[in-house]
Amino acid sequence: MEPNYYKTKESVEEYIKLAKDVSGKELIDKLRNVLKTDSCLLEIGSGPGTDWRILNEYYDVIGSDNSTEFLKHLITRNPTGVFIELDASTLMTDRRFNGIYSNKVLHHLKDNELIDSIKRQYGILLSHGIICHSFWKGEGSEIFKGLYVNYHTEPDLLNFFQDYFEILSIESYKEFEDDDSLLLIGRKR
Ligand SMILES: C[S@@+](CC[C@H](N)C(=O)[O-])C[C@H]1O[C@@H](n2cnc3c(N)ncnc32)[C@H](O)[C@@H]1O
């Protein structure tokens, strides 16, 4: 992967092929326990759009990404969907939501960017709004094939989110290997 891996047509096409069998259905089932059907939901970093299509069955979902190549793909594949260009750390939108979801996106943010994102998520959520985010579990950070990857532990995520969100759950789960991932679900304080 190159530093612009999510930005070029060729690499985005490659990513979509590689990720064709990956879906966040089990994460979305957990979100559905706490966010009622038809709520207005923002997905950050929709990428190939697999989770967006599942979310769209249950919610009034707006997809987003900061990659124009992924956005082009999302719009072409889902012509009736609503997709906006948004950076996860700044979330510059006037829209307001009942929920915010991301699957393996916020690990691309440095700690200070994650803090900015959390404050902004708090700002764009309506009262009692729900967040549901997945992360890679571990410590430290690395550049993996050109992309910045920030690993997180349960205490580390609690520390970041708990001033703004009541933490409803933080659970380990398996993406590729046992306990390699964390799912955090919270409610706006
Ligand atoms: C690992 S992919 C996950 C895509 C999708 N959520 C999924 O589960 O298949 C990361 C996605 O996050 C997007 N992304 C990375 N950094 C971002 C940022 N700062 N703001 C918004 N999207 C970002 C990438 O363009 C890519 O679509």
Contact 124, 116 (CB under 8 A): no
What six digits make up the tokens of 13? 């096409």
**Nearest alpha carbon, ligand 1 atom 26:** 47
- pLDDT given at position 144: 86
- Which residue's CA is the closest to the ligand 1 atom numbered 14? 45
How many angstroms separate the alpha carbon of residue 144 from the centre of ligand 1?
14
pTM of the entire structure? Answer: 0.97
129 touches ligand 1 (CB under 6 Å): no
Residue 126's nearest CA partner among 91, 96, 167 is 96
Residue 5 has pLDDT above 60, yes or no: yes
Q: Which atom of ligand 1 is nearest to the CA of 19?
A: 9
User: How far is it, in rounded angstroms, from Cα 140 to Cα 153?
Assistant: 10
User: Closest residue (by CA) to atom 8 of ligand 1?
Assistant: 103
- pLDDT tens by residue, 127-139: 999 999 999 999 9
Q: Where along the chain do its domains lie?
A: 9-134
160 lines ligand 1 (CB under 6 A): no
Per residue in 85-130, pLDDT tens?
A: 999 999 999 999 999 999 999 999 999 999 999 999 999 999 999 9
For ligand 1, atom 12, which residue shows the shortest CA distance? 45
Distance from C-alpha of 20 to C-alpha of 60, rounded to nearest angstrom: 24
* Residue owning the nearest CA to atom 13 of ligand 1: 45
Tokens of residue 35, six digits: 């966010």
Q: Does domain 9-134 have CATH number 3.40.50.150?
A: yes
Query: Tens of pLDDT along 39-65?
Result: 999 999 999 999 999 999 999 999 999
CA–CA distances in Å: residue 16 to residues 9, 47, 68, 74, 147: 11, 8, 14, 11, 16
How many Å apart are CA 24 and CA 177, to the nearest integer?
15
Three-state SS letters, 77-114? HCCCCEEEECCCCCCCCCCCEEEEEECCCHHHCCHHHH
Q: Is the CB of 65 under 6 A from ligand 1?
A: yes
